Structure 1
């Protein structure tokens, strides 16, 4: 690192002749007389100290280089964005077609980008959603890209709708199953303290999960459960417990009422407010 610091600060290679140039022959000779040579790290420690070179000179150089690259990239992106806006502000409509619930309009721009592209397509859905294709060489390519963009958007929208329908059905089933099959979970960092299983340290109902992680993630977003640190199990929160108990009370199934009675103390856990709350 000492050699890297020397080079970063002086912009010279860590060679003896360069050390002599900056520190003087007498200083380098004094190091050599003490058995400290240019091949040794100690040599460059002394040289850097003589030149007041910071210990983090190399690291600071890398930071400056990274900032410079990022600035250059940001400037290039800004130029490209400005050029794109200029091109798109000067375009003429060629034709429009309908596809599913979308209207696709193909435009020809009055100028071209640096790659010779001069066609673009804009897609508008009846609901107001809008999509724009990449620039294309031909109008046919622009339209083809628009069709692909529309079809992919419709596919993703259908997947979202299907998941929501799936989630709405599985949400109550997951919560009830986790609640009835899980075990009380307490703060794992309390060791064997006598109060470990007290109401103050209760964190929820734990359950080793083999469920669909997409469903689990959505339950987590609703703050109905949390994943364990290993990710192999879940802990139903007091909010999730309350919802599960409310749903179970509406089910006409043998044994449910008895199971709820056995966990009536959970009502105290759910409603408990610590002094810090």
Structure 2
């Protein structure tokens, strides 16, 4: 399934190949339960478990109502109607103890308030420059470039750097699969999505993404097969997509 974004198309990473301290950007919250909940939310969102991810963000905010990054997550995945209010609440938080990553993200929110069509490219360059060895910085930069700024080349550059830095971070291969499809490089797209499945065989989204690849490649029987796998793993709407793919088989 193509990753969906409420405002900026941002999915955050997991910690399957590194400790949270190594993978994630730093946060100013000192609440260990809040940070743990936010990291769980990130992993859930990365594999398209949106309902469960929101529940973990809510837990993080319950533990620490002033948790800046948790407010950022809440805003990103909020409905269009509630998003401005959450953005205002985020910007109203005390800036005094924000770290560099949080200050960079706050600057982006300020830009959105002034212009909802504002691009994130320069902000992401600053984030990666500040945290060049932090995988999440590259992940965010790739996703912002792709889904917010529509800059496929920049997104691919960040994704490839992330693959070198964290070669076992599964969701990045999902992003790369869609980037290659955008570039019409279907062999490379398939290879990337196969890597996603290999690294995350229990994630329904991995099979759903491969099903979409086959659909785009007009291999409808294979598409239905993978949608069926995603449906069997509990992914909502995958069965309907499998049936639709079957109707296209000639």
Q: Look at both structures and tell me which one has the larger radius of gyration over its CA atoms.
A: 1
Bigger proportion of residues as strand = 1
Structure 2 length-normalised TM: 0.24
Bigger RCO (CA 8 Å, 6+ sep)? 2
Normalised by the size of structure 1, how large is the TM-score? 0.22
